[in-house]
Amino acid sequence: MSENFLSQEEIDALLKQQSQENGTDGAGGGDDSNTVEEDLTQEEKDALGEIGNISMGFAATTLSELLRQRVVITTPNIKTTTQKDLFESFEKPYVVIEVNYTQGLTGTNIFFMHTNDALTIADLMMGGDGKGSGELTELHLSAVAEAMNQMMGAAATAMSNMFNFPVTISPPKINKIDFDKEKYDSPLTEEKVVVVSFKLIVGDLVDSRFMQVIPFDIAKQKARMLLDPSFINQMTAGDKTEEKPLEESAEEEKGVRAEEKAEDEELVLPQISEPEEEDLSASNRFQRTEAEAVSMSEREKRNLDLILDVPLNVSVVLGKTKKPISEVLNMTPGTIVELESLANEPVDIYVNGTLIAQGEVVVVNENFGVQIKNIISPEERIHKLR
């Protein structure tokens, strides 16, 4: 009986042979994208999902303000594939938006949006009801490009806050591509890419998906920036190291030029006593400027008297707001324009376009007037300009 039983060594050998056969079959008949996808860990996918959540949350808020519609961009799905496989999977025309990073991050992101969704967004941008039909025109594409520019600008701001260094983008390039009929000339040089797919909801008009395609190496870099904060310090330290030699060479060049100039001119400078150390703080500079102005007004009082009768334009600004072109064009008698100022906020008083005071509106002899409550000092005006 015992001779009919397999030994442990024989069992191990059979299991090893079976696993090798299964592995060979799987490699021959499996999907290449699954093999590629293993290069991105689950932790990296989660990090990219978090970055996408935060940045697209900012983008959704911006798009909602532009379209005057409720906009929701949901948690993304992330997969790794190749450009070839991705483009071959497209069965209908897409609007393709290319966005380049100009500061902070590097590389190009490509966004793919269904043409119907792009048409709806463009129609809303141009003051329509979002139910327009027909072909996408250059005007529609320009409207979508502006919407994406605003959205990606907001997303870049979100990433700047997240990574604690500036991230900026270039204006997007937009095209309509029918992948069944024409070849797309992708700006991405890396074949392996990460596809981040978002669900996009705009009011009751759009319930669809749009995709963000990122080069694989850039995707891993972004994930590492979130997972390992020290990596960001290494990046910023590298940037400073590269800038430092340039600054030093510029300083050296300035010094050499100054020495050459002094030798050529052979000037004999008179000896002068060193001036006392001057307090250059902002408050002291401001106080000194005020004192100089007072003394100057006393010396040149006669000259100033000559201009006292010059008329100045005084205007009072109740409040301000921003409106899209579509709303301005649709204004009719009876339209109420809501201002950004609160009901009890002081109004601004301008003289020749310069803010000089704040006050509150009063009624004087059946006419509107302004009672000044606060005079804006020159120092405060400078701070407001900043």
Q: What's the CA gap between 45 and 42, in Å, rounded?
A: 5
Q: Which residues of the chain have pLDDT under 70?
A: 1-38, 232-309, 378-386
Look at residue 373 and tell me if it is in a domain.
yes
**What pLDDT does 14 receive?**
54
Q: Residues with Cβ < 8 Å from 14, sequence gap 6 or more?
A: 6
Look at residue 126 and tell me if it is in a domain.
yes
Same-domain check for residues 353 and 211: no
pTM: 0.53
The backbone torsions φ and ψ at residue 77, rounded to the nearest 5 degrees and listed phi first, read: -100, 140
Same-domain check for residues 219 and 329: no
Q: Which domain holds residue 372?
A: 311-385
Q: What is the CATH number of the domain that holds 91?
A: 3.40.1550.10
- Which of 232, 253, 285 is the endpoint of a domain? 232
Q: What's the CA gap between 62 and 55, in Å, rounded?
A: 11
- Which of 174, 203, 232 is the endpoint of a domain? 232
Q: What's the CA gap between 203 and 64, in Å, rounded?
A: 9
**What pLDDT does 9 receive?**
61
- Which of 183, 217, 232 is the endpoint of a domain? 232
* Number of independent structural domains in the chain: 2
pLDDT digits 0-9 by tens, 88-108? 898 888 999 999 988 888 888
Identity at 147, one-letter amino acid code: A
Look at residue 306 and tell me if it is in a domain.
no
Q: What is the CATH number of the domain that holds 360?
A: 2.30.330.10
User: Cβ of 63: how many Cβ atoms within 10 Å?
Assistant: 23
**What pLDDT does 268 receive?**
44
Same-domain check for residues 187 and 332: no
